[in-house]
Structure 1
Amino acid sequence: MTAPIETTGAAAETQPEAALAGAEKGRIEGRSLGQIAWSRFKKDKVAVTGGAIVVVLVLLAILSRPIQAVFGLDPNAFHQDLIDPNTSLPNGAWGGMSADHPLGVDPKFGRDIATRILEGSWVSLVVAFGATILSNVIGAIMGVVAGYYGGRVDTIISRLMDTFLAFPLLLFAIAISATLQGGAFGLTGLPLHLSVLIFIIGFFNWPYLGRIVRGQTLALREREFVDASRGMGARGPYILFRELMPNLVGPIIVYSTLLIPTNILFEASLSFLGVGIQPPQASWGGMLREAVTFYEVDPQYMIVPGLAIFVTVLAFNLLGDGLRDALDPRSR
């Protein structure tokens, strides 16, 4: 029989350290909620595609004016030599498409459609993002206050939401935009039109998010972390903005990505009706309005801005659906 092998004192001391090192290698690292949501989002290829398109559109809108300056583009430059004087239509096939004008030119004036689409992109996104931010700020504050305090406060805010939702928004927007066309609040021209559209769309759309936030707050206000904050002496404003609001970021982000395309369509509708962005400033809705006269003989001028609106709205909707599934796995 062999005698047991004795270990020296130095070897015996190193054995626990070796075991600890092995345990460190096998440890499972925890992940934050953001990391979990990102891993879910990456698996949704459709949502990733929509997000990539949104990023490209936003970059084009931000760099619209610098791109025009670098390449010497002018969305309002007339090219009468490209228009047939007998028919007032672009020379050549497909709306006058060429290497210099890849998307053709508009009838009557010969303005480059690609440059006008690029110019109109920042107008649509500025109105959409501005109105979304305004409605989200008002809706989130009103919703969380109504849901947390309840009682008479909840009743007053809820009835206010119902009142705003009862407004015929399109008719109201047409009336206000038409009234303020000349000038107001020290603003004129494009700054006035942008400000009016952002205010109308954002201010009258906040009840939609307000109802969502109110419903989420009603469920969150009974959770343990809220009771713990009350027990530690936290006041209402602290609980609203430090405890409840961070837990509402997910629903607000998802709703924002779904509201932005709605605001883009609303701005395009107002510009199409002639009470939104006014010429000569390019806008997608304004281009569709100008194309109505020529759509039978030159459909190119209507197809291009229509596709720009379609692709933008679709990309934001795909992104919103993907974010909703990533932030709320129960919706799968």
Structure 2
Amino acid sequence: MTAPLETPESEPHHGSAVVTETEDRRDGGAGNRSLRQIAWQRFRKDKVAMTGAVVVILLVLSAIFAPVISWLLGTSPYQYHSELMDPLTGGALNDPDDGASGIDPMGGISTDHLLGLEPKTGRDLFTRLIYGAQISLLVAFGATVVCVVIGTILGSIAGYFGGWTDTIISRAMDIFLAFPILLFAIALTGAIPDQAFGLEGNGLRVGILIFVIGFFNWPYIGRIVRGQTLTLREREFVEAARSLGASSGHILFRELLPNLVTPILVYATLLIPTNIIFEASLSFLGVGINPPTPSWGRMLSDSLQFYTTSPHFVIIPGLTIFVTVLAFNLFGDGLRDAYDPRSTD
């Protein structure tokens, strides 16, 4: 009963009722391909989007296997190397085995420490970055799931039923969009004790961040789902389901929802980098993850006092956030173009 999403199909030649094999090969055989196959072919041709996808995959894998990578390198994100640091400036010292002395201008970069050392503490910067990716991606993906679930449910209900239901949900969206989420997140994370809701420490912090970011950002995806539902509810397959006596729940979950998967998936990939920046902003302000657990925002905040003596400590965390957000945005834009029915192969 579910209507397939619209896909561009090859049209037969006007001079003949039969499309030849040569013509079908020339147009890519679009008539014999599913929407997913067509989208993958378009996405594969987009080199920029493919580059973003590769960076995203590498980032996710490095976060998942961070303990393994740390073990292979023989270092820990919590291990101090104060003997390698200058006690006055906090900068990394040159290796005396190399016949040099004084502050290392490269920040302690070596085969043992691929990105150098943190000023003053001497902790390995590379392992702290990949462990920080765990926090950033966990919060970003968790908050995105919360956004998608709430936004999809309320957006589809508003678009399908309309009337006063649509009015109430739409006004709720306006209120949430006008809510000062950053100020609320700062106040809430600062007021929450170390133990609450059966959680404690950074486990509680992560849960609070996921809730705050996800619960107050659902209207963005809710509006998209509502608009798509308004269009789909007038389609023939919905009218056919009504004529057969299908309930509203059946139509919403069996007829409309499968046709909303693609726009939801595309927008979710564009929402993840926004959530990464939000988590980094809270950690930068000191109300995110508690130290010494690595966090990109906290590392960037700590680096500001050493930007004259250890500029690598400022550049590397900031560049990591920049590349991550850019990769997710390029990946999301590529998915959006690939699934756009108005696109051409």
Say whether the fold is shared (TM-score over 0.5). Answer: yes
Determine the C-alpha separation between the residues in 2 that align with 1:123 and 1:179. Answer: 21
The Cα shift of 1:181 comes to 4.5
What is the CA deviation profile of residues 150-209 of structure 1, one whole-angstrom value per residue up to 9, with x for unaligned ones?
001111111111111111010000000111142211211111111011000001000010
The Cα shift of 1:261 comes to 0.3
Question: Are 1:166 and 2:178 matched, yes or no?
Answer: yes
Long gaps (5+) in structure 1: 1-22
Task: Report what 2:106 is aligned to.
Answer: 94
Residue from 262, 266, 286 that aligns with 1:254: 266
Task: Report what 2:37 is aligned to.
Answer: 35
Question: Are 1:302 and 2:314 matched, yes or no?
Answer: yes
The Cα shift of 1:329 comes to 3.9
Determine the C-alpha separation between the residues in 1 that align with 2:211 and 2:136. Answer: 14
Larger Cα Rg: Structure 1 or Structure 2?
A: 1
The secondary structure found in structure 2 opposite 1:281 is coil
Q: Structure 1 residues 94-103 or 300-309, which shifts more?
A: 94-103
Determine the C-alpha separation between the residues in 2 that align with 1:262 and 1:237. Answer: 32
Task: Report what 2:286 is aligned to.
Answer: 274
Does structure 2 retain, via aligned residues, the 8 Å contact 1:261–1:312?
Answer: yes
Determine the C-alpha separation between the residues in 1 that align with 2:168 and 2:199. Answer: 34
Task: Report what 1:208 is aligned to.
Answer: 220
Determine the C-alpha separation between the residues in 2 that align with 1:82 and 1:295. Answer: 19
Determine the C-alpha separation between the residues in 1 that align with 2:23 and 2:177. Answer: 56
Does structure 2 retain, via aligned residues, the 8 Å contact 1:61–1:122?
Answer: yes
Determine the C-alpha separation between the residues in 1 that align with 2:73 and 2:312. Answer: 24
Does structure 1 retain, via aligned residues, the 8 Å contact 2:66–2:131?
Answer: yes
Does structure 2 retain, via aligned residues, the 8 Å contact 1:128–1:198?
Answer: yes
Does structure 1 retain, via aligned residues, the 8 Å contact 2:77–2:128?
Answer: yes
Does structure 1 retain, via aligned residues, the 8 Å contact 2:89–2:309?
Answer: no
Question: Are 1:289 and 2:301 matched, yes or no?
Answer: yes
What is the root-mean-square deviation in Å for CA atoms of aligned residues? Answer: 1.7
Residue from 47, 50, 55 that aligns with 2:49: 47
User: Normalising by the residue count of structure 1, what TM-score does the alignment of the two structures yield?
Assistant: 0.90
Determine the C-alpha separation between the residues in 2 that align with 1:87 and 1:275. Answer: 27
Determine the C-alpha separation between the residues in 2 that align with 1:331 and 1:221. Answer: 24
Q: For 1:215-234, what aligned pairs fall within 5 Å after superposition?
A: 215-234=227-246
Determine the C-alpha separation between the residues in 1 that align with 2:87 and 2:279. Answer: 34
What is the CA deviation profile of residues 80-119 of structure 1, one whole-angstrom value per residue up to 9, with x for unaligned ones?
1110123222111221111211211011110000010011
Give the aligned residue type for 1:300. H
Determine the C-alpha separation between the residues in 1 that align with 2:254 and 2:316. Answer: 46
User: Normalising by the residue count of structure 2, what TM-score does the alignment of the two structures yield?
Assistant: 0.87
Long gaps (5+) in structure 2: 1-19, 94-103
Determine the C-alpha separation between the residues in 1 that align with 2:294 and 2:190. Answer: 18
Determine the C-alpha separation between the residues in 1 that align with 2:267 and 2:259. Answer: 14
Residue from 322, 326, 336 that aligns with 1:314: 326
Cα separation, partners in 2 of 1:211 and 1:182, compared to 1, 3 Å: same
The Cα shift of 1:26 comes to 9.8
Does structure 2 retain, via aligned residues, the 8 Å contact 1:83–1:110?
Answer: yes
The Cα shift of 1:277 comes to 0.8
What is the CA deviation profile of residues 113-164 of structure 1, one whole-angstrom value per residue up to 9, with x for unaligned ones?
0010011011100000000001100000100000000001111111111111
Does structure 1 retain, via aligned residues, the 8 Å contact 2:81–2:121?
Answer: yes
Residue from 56, 59, 62 that aligns with 1:60: 62
Does structure 2 retain, via aligned residues, the 8 Å contact 1:181–1:193?
Answer: no
